[in-house]
Amino acid sequence: MQYGLVYTKGRGNYILSGFSDSDLAGSLDDRKSTGGMAFYLDENLITWVSQKQRCVALSSCEAEFMAATAAACQAIWLQRVLSHIMGVKPGPVTLYIDNRSAVDLARNPVFHGRSKHIDLRYHFIRECVEQGSIVIKHVRTNEQHADILTKALAVTKFEKMRRLLGVKNLEHV
């Protein structure tokens, strides 16, 4: 009960960034993966989601790619909402992904035979990258803010991820 988010006044930069992560076949019942995303405006956490993916992923790359695509959709929506509320168009959203194969797949507009099995709706993220509305960057797994949204974690890792999200003990603020 004593933990929460503390919001600080931004510098007017309106930098939107997000983190996307996925486990692989985490559900023992149907082997579907769980995807998670967290978005920040400047350094303030403004939205987060954790949900089971709609279909079974055949690899960790595919699970991460599907989670990144869901995050790209959320990022575009957030860009539009912020643009409408603030009257300024935010720059491109930086999306951090901890799976190098998924990063490469999202960045590369060439349709490979190895990715042909991934449903076409998930190639939306490639179009966003090509248009410049999304910038994909790799982040190390231990710095992946959305990791806490996809799986159970050991206490020390949970506490670190909680800090990365921006959740603080309000008794010490």
- How many domains does the chain contain in total? 1
Instruction: Quick: pLDDT tens for 120-159.
Output: 667 789 899 999 999 999 999 999 999 999 999 999 999 9
What gap in Å lies between CA 23 and CA 46, rounded to an integer?
A: 23
Number of other CB atoms surrounding residue 157 within 10 Å: 14
Output the pLDDT for position 113.
Answer: 59
Among 17-26, 42-51, 95-104, 116-125, the minimum mean pLDDT is found in 116-125
Q: What is the mean pLDDT of residues 107-130?
A: 73
3-class state of residue 168 by DSSP: strand
Tell me whether strands 93-97 and 44-52 are parallel, antiparallel or unpaired.
unpaired
Q: Is the pTM of the predicted complex or chain greater than 0.75?
A: yes
Q: What is the CATH number of the domain that holds 16?
A: 3.30.420.10
What gap in Å lies between CA 140 and CA 90, rounded to an integer?
A: 26
Per the structure, the complete domain to which residue 157 belongs is given by: 3-172
Output the pLDDT for position 132.
Answer: 94
* pLDDT above 80: residue 63: yes
